[in-house]
């Protein structure tokens, strides 16, 4: 049994004081180490093959994580003054490298475009992404790809992403989670570590990393076969939802002489157009183009049309499927679009 005299002995006190000092310095150094790691991550990115920072705790949407990471790396070296937005049709249909070859597009010299179009993206969510880019990257041009696919239903994951703490933080709806994702790279990497435990997420991330280059561009390689639209293919789930129309209005309201918005009609396979919306080609114009045109006209946004002349722009072998262009089709369409953009004031 330890006696009181022994408990109060100098040697015992000395050991306790030493332990307390160790704990004190440990508590002091942990925040310093965290700050050091945070500072390093802001200037030196962890290799993408090792880990990509994520912006949401729950949603496994690896494409946006990769593209934002690629954008961060590019903006460390150059000023990105042009962004491509939209769904997978813009993702696989517009090549930023080709646009960047032009000395001027829509009156903007030395364009440096980045493709931030994302699969299954809807105008409701694109509006949040556009606002984020305007606030943080201060671009001169936003190129917005538009198609009926952008207004289809489903994709609950994309709809839920609107409620992401990080996106809500961008809109001024502050929360601790949103603040940490926005301001702490250490926290983003921690969230990534948690997601990396999911084999499905790791597999999707690995595949996306191979396909997305430093300018956000993705390409579907040619198969050597000509795609044929089958007669039994069903109509798309097309519906102009109110939240997507409001999203388009939000995007359009960003248009100004200093930050131009240019809308582009993203084409579908010409043999599928008659079945894409109710009423065929006439229904396509009445139910999609005219409502969108009214929103764009209200903000004096140019709308580059492509569907009626798509057979002359993209050959039959340029289609991957009835919605998406393959590598050769993307090349043809992007060169045509670059010419149209060059002619805009």
Count Cβ neighbours within 10 Å for each residue of 83-106 and write b for 16 or more, e otherwise.
bbbbbbbbbbbbbbebbbebeebb
Average pLDDT over residues 65-83: 93
Close Cβ partners of 223 (under 8 Å, ≥ 6 residues apart): 320, 326
Q: Tell me, yes or no, whether 68 and 39 share the same domain.
A: no
Q: Tell me, yes or no, whether 253 and 318 share the same domain.
A: yes
Number of CB atoms found within 10 A of residue 182's CB: 17
Condensed to tens digits (0 to 9), the pLDDT of residues 118-148 reads 988 999 999 999 999 999 999 999 999 998 8
Q: Tell me, yes or no, whether 152 and 14 share the same domain.
A: no
Supply the range of the domain harboring residue 23. 4-43
Domain count, the chain: 2
What is the share, in percent, of the chain residues with pLDDT greater than 90?
50
Condensed to tens digits (0 to 9), the pLDDT of residues 195-209 reads 888 888 888 888 888
For residue 7, name the pLDDT band (cuts at 50, 70, 90). very low
Report whether 288 contacts 248 (CB < 8 A): no
Q: What is the mean pLDDT of the chain?
A: 85
Q: Is the residue at 314 inside a domain?
A: yes
- Which H helix or E strand runs over 75? helix 62-75
For residue 303, name the pLDDT band (cuts at 50, 70, 90). very high
Q: Tell me, yes or no, whether 28 and 119 share the same domain.
A: no
How much is the pLDDT for 59? Answer: 80
Residue 174 sits in a domain whose CATH number is: 3.40.50.1110
Average pLDDT over residues 37-51: 70
Q: Is the residue at 57 inside a domain?
A: no
Q: Is the residue at 322 inside a domain?
A: yes
Q: Is the residue at 54 inside a domain?
A: no
Q: Is the residue at 53 inside a domain?
A: no
Distance of CA 51 to the CA centre of its chain: 18
Q: How far apart are CA 29 and CA 40, in angstroms?
A: 16
Q: Tell me, yes or no, whether 39 and 124 share the same domain.
A: no
């Amino acid at each position: 049994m330890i006696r009181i005299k022994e408990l109060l002995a100098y040697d015992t006190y000395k050991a306790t004081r030493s332990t307390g000092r160790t704990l004190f310095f440990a508590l002091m150094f942990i925040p310093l180490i965290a700050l050091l790691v945070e500072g390093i991550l802001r200037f030196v990115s962890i290799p993408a093959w090792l880990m990509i920072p994520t912006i949401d705790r729950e949603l496994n949407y690896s494409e946006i994580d990769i593209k934002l990471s690629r954008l961060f790396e590019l903006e460390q070296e150059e000023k990105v003054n042009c962004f491509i937005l939209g769904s997978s049709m813009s993702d696989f249909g517009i090549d930023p490298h080709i646009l960047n070859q032009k000395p001027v597009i829509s009156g903007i010299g030395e364009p440096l475009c980045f493709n931030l179009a994302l699969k299954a993206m809807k105008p409701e969510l694109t509006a949040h992404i556009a606002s984020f880019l305007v606030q943080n990257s201060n671009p001169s041009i936003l190129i917005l790809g538009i198609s009926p696919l952008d207004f289809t239903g489903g994709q609950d994951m994309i709809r839920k992403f609107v409620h992401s703490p990080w996106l809500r933080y961008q809109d001024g709806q502050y929360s601790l989670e949103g603040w940490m994702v926005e301001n702490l790279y250490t926290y983003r990497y921690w969230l990534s570590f948690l997601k990396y435990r999911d084999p499905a997420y790791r597999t999707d991330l690995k595949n996306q990393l191979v396909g997305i280059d430093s300018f956000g561009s993705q390409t579907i390689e040619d198969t050597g076969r000509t795609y044929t639209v089958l007669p039994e293919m069903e109509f798309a789930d097309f519906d102009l939802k109110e939240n997507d129309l409001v999203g388009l209005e939000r995007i359009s309201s960003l248009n100004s002489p200093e930050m131009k918005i240019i809308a582009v009609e993203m084409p579908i396979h010409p043999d599928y157009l008659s079945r894409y919306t109710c009423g065929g080609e006439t229904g396509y114009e009445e139910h999609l183009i005219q409502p969108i045109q009214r929103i764009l006209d209200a903000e004096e946004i140019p709308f580059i049309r492509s569907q009626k002349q798509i057979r002359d722009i993209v050959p039959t072998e340029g289609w991957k499927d009835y919605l998406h262009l393959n590598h050769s089709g993307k090349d043809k369409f992007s060169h045509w679009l670059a010419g149209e953009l060059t002619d805009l004031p």
